[in-house]
Structure 1
Amino acid sequence: MKQKIREWLRRYLLAEVLSVGATLAGAGLVWHLAPNQDLRAALAGTWAGNVAYFGWLLGQDVQLARRTLRAQGRPYTRRSLGRNLRALVVEFGPAELLDSLLIRPALLYWLPRWTGSRAGGVLLAKFAADVTFYIPAIISYELSKKRLRNFGD
C-alpha cells in the first residue's frame, strides 16, 4: 500500500500544488476586478485550477509516452496523443463532471462566505472538494493503467 500511495503522490502532488495556486489566483483576480462577484470568482477558481491541474498531468503523460516510444524507436503521433487524452478522460471523467459542475463551484461559492475569509474559504473548499474527487479518480487511474497507459505494446 505504501508503494501505491507513493505512486499517487508522484502522479498528483505537483499537479495539486499548481492547481491550488491557480485556484487562488483565478478567484482572487475576479474578486479584485469585481469585488461582489462571488459566483464568478468560484467558477474562475474552479476552471483556473482545472487548467493548471490537467495541463500538468497531460504534459507528464505525454512526456512519459514520448520517452517510452522513443526507446522503442517509434514516434509519438496524433494517435499517441489521442491515447493520452483518452486515458485522462477515463481517469477523471466521472469524478471531474460532478466536481467541476457542482461540488467545487458550490464549495468555492459558500465556504468563503461561511468562513468570512476569501483565501481561507477557497483553500478549505479546494481541499474538501478534492476528497470527493480523488476517490473515483484513483480507482479509474488504477483500472486504466494497463490498457490505456501502456505504450510498450
Structure 2
Amino acid sequence: MKAKVGEWLRRYLPAEGLSVVATLGGAGLAWHLAPGREVQAALAGTWAGNVAYFGWLLLQDVRQTRRQLHRCGQRYTRRTFGQNVRALVVEFGPAEVLDSLLIRPALMVWLPRLLGSRSGGIVAAKLLADVTFYVPAIVSYELSKKRLRRFEE
C-alpha cells in the first residue's frame, strides 16, 4: 500500500501544486476584473485550476508513453495521443463533472464568505473538494492502468 500511495503522490501532487496557483490566480483576476461577482470568480478559479491540473497530467502521460514506445522501437502517433486523452477521461470523468460543475464552485462561493478571507476560503474549498474528487479518481486510475494505459503492441 505504501508503494501505491507514493505512486499517487508522484502523479497528483505536482498537478495539485500548479492547480492551487492557477486557482488563486484565476479567481483573483476575475474578482479584480468584476468586483462582487463571486460566482464568476469561483468558476474562473475552478476552470483555471482544471486547465493547469489536467494540462500537467496530460503532459506527463504523453512523456511517459513516448518513452515507453521509444524503448520498444515504436512511434507516438495521433492515435496514441487519443489513447492518452481517453485514459484521462476515464480516470477523471465522473468525479470531474460533479467537482467542476457543483461541489468546487459552491464551496468557492461560500467558504470565503464563511471564513472572511478570499484566499483562505478558496484554498479551504479546494482542499475539501479534493476529498470528494480523489476517491473515485484513484479507483478509476488503478482500473485504467490495466486496460487503457498499455501502449506496446
Q: Same fold (TM over 0.5)?
A: yes
Runs of 4+ in 1 over 3 A off after TM superposition: none
Structure 1 CA distance, aligned partners of 2:110 and 2:34? 17
What is the TM-score with the length of structure 1 in the denominator?
Answer: 0.98
2:63 maps to what in 1?
63
State the Cα distance separating 1:151 from its structure 2 match: 1.5
Q: Distance in 2 between matches of 1:30 and 1:54?
A: 21
Instruction: Report the residue type matching 2:122 in the other structure.
Output: V
Matching of residue 130 in structure 1 with residue 130 in structure 2: yes
- Other structure's SS at 1:81 match: helix
Give me the whole-angstrom Cα distance separating, in 2, the residues matched to 1:30 and 1:82.
33
How far has the Cα of 1:80 moved from its partner? 0.2
Aligned to 1:3: 3
RMSD between superposed Cα atoms in Å: 0.6
1:1-153 counterparts in 2 under 5 A? 1-153=1-153
Query: Per-residue deviation at 1:30?
Result: 0.8
- State the distance in 2 between where 1:91 and 1:61 align: 12
Structure 1 unaligned blocks of 5 or more: none
Instruction: For 1:68 and 1:152, locate their aligned partners in 2 and report how far apart those are by CA, in whole Å.
Output: 8
Q: Hey, what's the Cα distance between the residues in 2 that align with 1:75 and 1:4? A: 29
The Cα of 1:152 is off from its aligned counterpart by 2.6
Query: Could you tell me the TM-score, scaled by structure 2's length?
Result: 0.98
Q: Aligned residues, how many?
A: 153
For 2:139 and 2:72, locate their aligned partners in 1 and report how far apart those are by CA, in whole Å: 29
Q: Residues of 2 paired with 1:100 and 1:48: CA distance?
A: 11
**Secondary structure of 1:36's aligned partner:** coil
Task: Quote the Cα distance in structure 2 between the aligned partners of 1:67 and 1:2.
Answer: 26
> How much has 1:45 moved relative to structure 2?
0.3
Tell me, in whole angstroms, the C-alpha distance in 2 between the residues paired with 1:128 and 1:41. 18
